[in-house]
Amino acid sequence: MDVTTETFDRDVIERSRELPVVVDFWAAWCGPCRMLGPALETEAGKRDDRLELVKLDVDAEPEIAARYGIRSIPTVVVFRDGEPVTGFVGALPAKLIGQFFDEQVLGDVAEQAA
Is this structure's pTM higher than 0.95?
A: no
Residue 108 pLDDT: 52
Looking at residue 17, the DSSP 8-state letter turns out to be G
Complete domains list, the chain, with CATH = 8-105 (3.40.30.10)
Active site residue 68: no
pLDDT in single tens digits along all 114 residues of the chain: 999 999 999 999 999 999 999 999 999 999 999 999 999 999 999 998 899 999 999 999 999 999 999 999 999 999 999 999 999 999 999 999 999 999 988 885 444 444
**Helices and strands, counts by H and E, the chain:** 5, 4
Active-site pick, 30, 51, 56, 92? 30
CA distance 81 to 94: 26
Active-site pick, 21, 23, 33, 97? 33
Are 105 and 22 spatial neighbours (Cβ–Cβ below 8 Å)? yes
Residue 111 pLDDT: 46
Active site residue 47: no
